[in-house]
Amino acid sequence: MKYLLFAVLVAMQLIHGAAANTEKTLTYAVPHWPPWTDTQTYPYQGIDVEIITALADKAGFKINMLKCSWKRCLKLLEQGEADIATNVLRTADREGYLHYLTPAYRTNLDYVIYTHKGDMRAITTKQQLYPLQITIERGAHFPDEFSQDKNIQTRPVSQTLFAIKQLINQRANAVIGEEYQLDYLVSRLDTNRVLEKQPLLFSEPINAYIVLSKKSHHAEAVAQLSDTIAQMMDSGQIESMKRDYLRPNE
């Protein structure tokens, strides 16, 4: 009888310990969207992966990463099968099932231009683009200041990746794209450092958030997680993590 009682007590302790670990784990819904999230190999990488890992550590949580398409990620959050996600824009529909952790950790979207070194003088005005053919990704979004200017000639390709490769091989004049994506691709592909970023910048406001599912078992941690994000923003940690991730490998 004593042995049975002892076995029951041990089992209860093990169950309690396992439950305690589960209680402090956030399931992170991770789509493939480099450089923010890269799920090609495990462990997953990306700017957002590093930010979420640091956020969870500061707030006393562990992270369990769950790979999913973006549409599937949102469904998992809606159902409470995933707890947290990154780079989410605010919409009326999503407000119904997501807590938006404030402040937004991305507040603007910048588009930059890369050219081959030595091909031209520094591009500082939009008018300097008029004689050029600017390679773009087909179907990609660009700020109105760029996309609505009929004097800018564009040359679409299927992927920004191909545009960068063409630019490296001097089969394109210039490439425009979202800054973080372009910086990431150039840092990985331009091994001989033959490309340069031009000073001209196109920008538009955007608020992208880290979100917590309203059906999460940790929904009560909204204030704690928001406060932690605010501290990381105020200290410059998040901005530093973004830039450090895109630093070219030596």
pLDDT in tens, 196-243: 999 999 999 999 999 999 999 999 999 999 999 999 999 999 999 998
Of 206, 208, 241, give the one whose Cα is nearest residue 35.
Answer: 241
pLDDT at 10 over 60: no
CA dihedral 173, 177, 183, 186 (to 10 degrees): -40
pLDDT of residue 248: 61
Domains of the chain: 2-107+207-245 (3.40.190.10), 108-205 (3.40.190.10)
pLDDT of residue 17: 45
pLDDT of residue 130: 97
58-112: pLDDT as tens digits: 999 999 999 999 999 999 999 999 999 999 999 999 999 999 999 999 999 999 9
> Pairing state of beta strands 98-116 and 195-213?
antiparallel
* pLDDT band, very low/low/confident/very high, at 15 (cuts 50, 70, 90): very low
* pLDDT band, very low/low/confident/very high, at 9 (cuts 50, 70, 90): very low
pLDDT of residue 243: 87
Of 78, 62, 47, give the one whose Cα is nearest residue 179.
Answer: 47
- Which of the two residues, 22 and 70, has the higher pLDDT score? 70
d(CA 81, CA 216) in angstroms, rounded, equals 8
Q: CA-based angle 169:174:177, to the nearest 5?
A: 110
145-195: pLDDT as tens digits: 999 999 999 999 998 999 999 999 999 999 999 999 999 999 989 999 999
Q: Which residue has 């002892």 as its token pair?
A: 6
pLDDT of residue 249: 57
Does residue 217 sit in helix, strand or coil? coil
Of 213, 193, 189, give the one whose Cα is nearest residue 81.
Answer: 213
- Which of the two residues, 250 and 156, has the higher pLDDT score? 156
Residue type, 8: V
| pTM exceeding the 0.85 threshold for the entire prediction | no
d(CA 212, CA 25) in angstroms, rounded, equals 13
Neighbour order of strands in the sheet with 174-178: 62-67, 25-30, 84-89, 195-213, 98-116, 174-178, 133-137, 153-157
Please, what is the angle between helix 47-59 and helix 237-245, to 10°? Answer: 150
